[in-house]
């Protein structure tokens, strides 16, 4: 049996997404920047996709900009907002995705900003009181806090963060890559400056994402070379990818309640089975349904001499997952997220992440494999 429990890394393409992309591949090869009929037809397809995304997020089409993925979108928002607004202070957490953390650290290293990292508790929750303290001391700052942690699954109350940022005149960016397509985002209600999405996290294609820029914000492009994306991103559009992204997000919204119920059930079932079958098993991050992303379960195992071999052994036995220890030898320094919550470096951890295609039978198989590995530690 082969089991794929690494959906937080990427998801399989939905068949309806493939069909939409293939239709475009077959019928619409024109360059959307061209003024002839073939170009105009393709341009219409891109703009239709933009309207679809905007409608689902309750935003304006003029606020949606297609990118190569979440990393580019994060970099564009962070680098350009800080430069264009003359911001010299930024706040983030030590357990952000590297697309955010490394970008801000590089700006700090170059002397462009002072960077403060928020306090994080043992479960991976950021300290909002600390955030308010820092905002009170540093008016007009840049804040970047993700909606859900990609390793732990912890959800952050970004509505509360947005209210604090508005109170202290801060610019707020949130990496919503892990929650896009899994939770509904009403951008007319959420007072936020920038959010990001990546299609391959919700059964769309790799290599395409988007950046939402609140209409009140004006920033310069990160990539120059053309007038595409209303002069905000040079380069010929990934038309087939954009079509796939819009279709995948549309399907995600249509099926959200059904899939959330199914996936949360799988996560709860696996958690209970692990407790029953593996004495000493623990869980990293929040596990309460209202505090954690329903697609992610981070497991800390008692087989302390397994180390980095855990994922290797899982792979050999047909299980695809990801994770690691808080500290390990060699060039791999382990997970910065697990180190950030002071996880036990002697206990190997693994992140299991689920999707609409997974089953209880797969959970049973994976728990059996884990039990076997831990019994032969």
Per-residue pLDDT of the chain (377 residues; tens, 9 = 90+): 999 999 999 999 999 999 999 999 999 999 999 999 999 999 999 999 999 999 999 999 999 999 999 999 999 999 999 999 999 999 999 999 999 999 999 999 999 999 999 999 999 999 999 999 999 999 899 999 999 999 999 999 999 999 999 999 999 999 999 999 999 999 999 999 999 999 999 999 999 999 999 999 999 999 999 999 999 999 999 999 999 999 999 999 999 999 999 999 999 999 999 999 999 999 999 988 899 999 999 999 987 666 668 888 999 999 999 985 543 434 456 789 988 988 888 888 999 999 999 999 999 999 999 999 888 75
Give the closest residue to 335 by CA, choosing from 354, 358, 310, 318.
310
Choose the catalytic residue: 84, 327, 342, 374: 327
Q: Is 327 a catalytic residue?
A: yes
Give residue 171's Cα distance to chain centre.
20
Residue 210 contacts by C-beta under 8 Å, 6 or more apart in sequence?
Answer: 53, 64, 65, 66, 67, 73, 196, 197, 245
* Contact (CB, 8 A) for 322 and 350: yes
Give the closest residue to 143 by CA, choosing from 221, 73, 78.
78
Residue 308 contacts by C-beta under 8 Å, 6 or more apart in sequence?
Answer: 324, 325, 328, 332, 348
C-alpha angle with apex 142: 118 to 298, nearest 5 degrees? 40
Cα 14 to Cα 99: distance, rounded to the nearest angstrom: 26
What DSSP character marks residue 355? -
- CA separation (Å) from 336 to 325, 342, 345? 9, 10, 11
Domains, the chain, ordered by start: 3-11+256-366 (3.90.1150.10), 15-254 (3.40.640.10)
Is this structure's pTM higher than 0.85?
yes
* Contact (CB, 8 A) for 14 and 251: yes
Give the closest residue to 154 by CA, choosing from 252, 31, 297.
297
- Structural tokens at position 40: 């105009």
């Amino acid at each position: 049996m082969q089991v794929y429990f690494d959906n937080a890394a990427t998801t399989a393409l939905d068949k309806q997404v493939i069909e939409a992309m293939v239709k475009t591949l077959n019928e619409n090869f024109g360059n959307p920047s061209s003024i002839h009929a073939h170009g105009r037809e393709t341009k219409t397809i891109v703009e239709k996709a933009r309207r679809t995304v905007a409608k689902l997020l309750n935003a304006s089409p003029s606020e949606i900009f297609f990118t190569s993925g979440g990393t580019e979108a994060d970099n564009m928002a962070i680098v350009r907002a800080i430069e264009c607004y003359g911001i010299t202070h930024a706040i983030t957490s030590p357990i952000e995705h590297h697309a955010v953390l490394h970008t801000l650290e590089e700006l700090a290293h170059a002397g462009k900003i002072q960077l403060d990292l928020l306090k994080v508790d043992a479960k991976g929750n950021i300290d909002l009181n600390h955030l308010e303290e820092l905002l009170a001391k540093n008016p007009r700052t840049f804040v970047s806090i993700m909606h859900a942690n990609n390793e732990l699954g912890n959800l952050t109350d970004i509505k509360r963060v947005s209210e604090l940022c508005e109170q202290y005149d801060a610019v707020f960016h949130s990496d919503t890559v892990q929650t896009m397509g899994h939770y509904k985002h009403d951008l007319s209600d959420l007072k936020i400056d920038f959010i990001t999405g990546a299609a391959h996290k919700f059964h769309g294609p790799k290599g395409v994402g988007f950046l939402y820029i609140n209409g009140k914000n004006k920033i310069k492009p990160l990539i120059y070379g053309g007038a595409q994306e209303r002069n905000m991103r040079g380069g010929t559009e990934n038309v087939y990818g954009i079509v796939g992204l819009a279709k995948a997000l549309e399907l995600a919204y249509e099926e959200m309640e059904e899939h959330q119920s199914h996936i949360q059930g799988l996560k709860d079932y696996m958690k209970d089975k692990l407790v029953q079958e593996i004495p000493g098993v623990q869980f990293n991050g929040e596990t309460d349904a209202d505090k954690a992303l329903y697609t992610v379960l981070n497991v800390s195992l008692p087989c302390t001499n397994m180390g980095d071999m855990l994922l290797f052994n899982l792979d050999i036995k047909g299980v695809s997952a990801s994770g690691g220890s808080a500290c390990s030898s060699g060039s791999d320094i382990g997970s910065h997220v697990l180190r950030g919550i002071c996880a036990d470096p002697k206990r190997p951890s693994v992140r299991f992440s689920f999707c609409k295609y997974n089953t209880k039978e797969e959970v049973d198989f994976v728990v059996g494999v884990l039990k076997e590995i831990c019994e032969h530690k």
